[in-house]
């Protein structure tokens, strides 16, 4: 697999790349690293473990729980809950670490392991590096030091996690959602119960699709990566709008009442203006990534809101927010972080806050989202290439320079290797969609030729 930890934990094909042995070993290594860092000092350590509904999550969860307990960590199993719920419960319960088994928006055969530090925050890169190094060392045959007798970890079910998380979501809403009809696409994923319950308790009339997970259908033609079903359902039911999550519900995309997509940039813009109006947009600043549409930047400038830009990945958005005390940040893909109420991207919370803004203003989502005009943007994923050489290939550098010259000041080019999949992403933005598509296709051909 190369380096185990990517931008969002450890991911791979379950039972091929991501095996039970790997899950167990990483969990033991994580316990040892956190113990050495002083996280467990003076008390018996506790971990919160949750998963999404993937079939492979059942045996991987068992492996993680076994690894932690064998290292002397007590485990609270919260079952199938969204990633942000596991992060929230890790903080709310005072646990020393949290572990989520999920591959987010990836297809069902994949799975992943994501660790959270005390407080529900993602582990620092330095700790992930130490966990990986320690795991690698012991995978070569080194014996672990293991407790015995009363020193082994105990495992308990924590069934209260669902209600506690939903109560948290309802508790932070600024106003109720009475009078709104909302379609929710749960991607047959981790929020299939949580999200409909939260929206209903908040007063909305809820219509659900993609809310029957069977372990095999997660993200299958539905959810935030496949909005067609949601668009059709919103129009069919004449709903006010629709919300789509991904498999672990850390993302949120939307569809307005006419069936048009409202992406993460637009959601971020709507929330930024709402928080500014309520005085909660600290330092009058929003954080986004280099993938954000140029239209978002222009909208924030027009509204007098400062905009900080980071590398792609919600962890980098979060680092910038924590370092400078900002309250709102996110990605075009629908990862939105509202730091006063969550330690990571929370798709259900984002959807609720978006709905609250619609209810508060009495304006439709299409009108609210029109604060920014999306410039044409074409994204092409080039699979099965050596993504490690994307920044060093002379042919690619020449092609990018030529593309930037052709686009001039009216567009931009971005090439980046995926942090979670074996592919290179080619993004081109231009005032004209045909030009953007032509330039993107030409660059994608060069990437495939140079790195294939």
Determine whether the annotation assigns residue 386 to a binding site. no
Q: What pLDDT digit, counting tens, does each position of 272-292 carry?
A: 999 999 999 999 999 999 889
Domain count, the chain: 3
CA atoms within 13 A on the CB side of 187: 34
Indicate whether 26 and 139 sit together in one domain. Answer: yes
Q: What pLDDT digit, counting tens, does each position of 58-83 carry?
A: 999 999 999 999 999 999 999 999 99
Instruction: Write the CA distances from 260 to 20, 233, 241, 433, integer angstroms.
Output: 42, 12, 9, 17
Indicate whether 113 and 48 sit together in one domain. Answer: yes
Determine whether the annotation assigns residue 52 to a binding site. no
The single residue of 56, 102, 104, 333 carrying the catalytic annotation is 104
Can you give the pLDDT at residue 229? 97
Indicate whether 215 and 295 sit together in one domain. Answer: yes
Let me know: does 318 contact 122? Beta carbons within 8 Å: yes
Q: What pLDDT digit, counting tens, does each position of 41-61 carry?
A: 889 999 999 999 999 999 999
Indicate whether 217 and 362 sit together in one domain. Answer: yes
Indicate whether 214 and 328 sit together in one domain. Answer: yes
Let me know: does 95 contact 48? Beta carbons within 8 Å: yes
Q: What's the pTM?
A: 0.89
Determine whether the annotation assigns residue 391 to a binding site. no
Give the residue from 121, 138, 159 where a domain finishes: 159
Let me know: does 387 contact 418? Beta carbons within 8 Å: yes
Give the residue from 329, 346, 369 where a domain finishes: 369
Q: What pLDDT digit, counting tens, does each position of 416-432 carry?
A: 888 767 789 999 998 88
Let me know: does 257 contact 198? Beta carbons within 8 Å: no
DSSP secondary structure string, 222-271? -GGG--HHHHHHHHHHT-SEEEE--TTS---EEE-TTS-EE-HHHHHHHH
Determine whether the annotation assigns residue 314 to a binding site. no
Give the residue from 159, 193, 221 where a domain finishes: 159
Q: Give the chain's mean pLDDT.
A: 94
**Residue 393 known to be catalytic:** no
As a 3-state breakdown, the chain gives helix, strand, coil percent values, each rounded to 5, of 40, 20, 35
Structural domain for 392, as ranges: 377-451
Can you give the pLDDT at residue 1? 45
């Amino acid at each position: 697999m190369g380096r185990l930890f990517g931008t969002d934990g450890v991911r791979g094909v379950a039972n091929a790349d991501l095996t039970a042995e790997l899950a167990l070993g990483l969990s033991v290594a994580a316990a040892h690293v956190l113990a050495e860092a002083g996280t467990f000092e003076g008390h018996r350590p506790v971990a919160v473990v949750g998963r999404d509904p993937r079939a492979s999550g059942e045996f991987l969860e068992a492996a993680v729980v076994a690894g932690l307990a064998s290292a002397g960590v007590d485990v609270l199993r919260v079952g199938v809950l969204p990633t942000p719920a596991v992060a929230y419960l890790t903080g709310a319960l005072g646990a020393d670490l949290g572990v989520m088994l999920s591959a987010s928006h990836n297809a069902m055969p994949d799975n992943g392991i994501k660790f959270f530090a005390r407080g529900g925050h993602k582990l620092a890169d330095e700790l992930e590096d130490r966990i990986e190094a320690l795991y690698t060392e012991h995978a070569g045959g080194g014996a672990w030091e293991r407790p015995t007798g009363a020193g082994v970890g105990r495992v308990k079910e924590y069934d209260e996690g669902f209600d506690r998380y939903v109560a948290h979501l309802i508790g932070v809403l600024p106003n109720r959602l009475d009078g709104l009809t909302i379609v929710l696409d749960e991607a047959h994923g981790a929020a299939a119960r949580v999200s409909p319950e939260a929206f209903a308790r908040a007063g909305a009339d809820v219509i659900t699709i993609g809310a029957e997970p069977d372990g095999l259908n997660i993200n299958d033609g539905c959810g935030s990566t496949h909005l067609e079903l949601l668009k059709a359902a919103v129009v069919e039911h004449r709903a006010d709008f629709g919300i789509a999550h991904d498999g672990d519900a850390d993302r949120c995309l939307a569809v307005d009442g006419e069936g048009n997509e409202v992406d993460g940039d637009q959601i971020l813009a709507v929330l930024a203006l709402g928080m500014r109006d309520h005085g909660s947009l600290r330092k009058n600043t929003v954080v986004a990534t280099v993938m954000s549409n140029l239209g978002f930047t222009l909208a924030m400038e027009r509204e007098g809101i400062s905009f900080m830009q980071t590398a792609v990945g919600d962890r980098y958005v979060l680092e910038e927010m924590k370092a400078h005390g900002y309250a709102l940040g996110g990605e075009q893909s629908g990862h939105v972080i509202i730091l006063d109420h969550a330690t990571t991207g929370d798709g259900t919370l984002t959807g609720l806050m978006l709905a609250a803004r619609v209810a508060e203003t009495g304006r439709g989502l299409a009108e609210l989202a029109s604060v920014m005009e999306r410039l044409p943007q074409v994204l092409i994923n080039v699979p099965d290439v050596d993504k490690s050489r994307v920044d060093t290939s002379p042919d690619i550098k020449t092609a990018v320079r030529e593309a930037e010259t052709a686009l001039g000041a009216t567009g931009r080019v971005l090439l980046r290797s995926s942090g979670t999949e074996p592919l290179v992403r080619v993004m081109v933005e231009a005032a004209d969609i045909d030009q953007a598509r032509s330039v993107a296709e030409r660059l994608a051909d060069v990437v495939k030729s140079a790195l294939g």
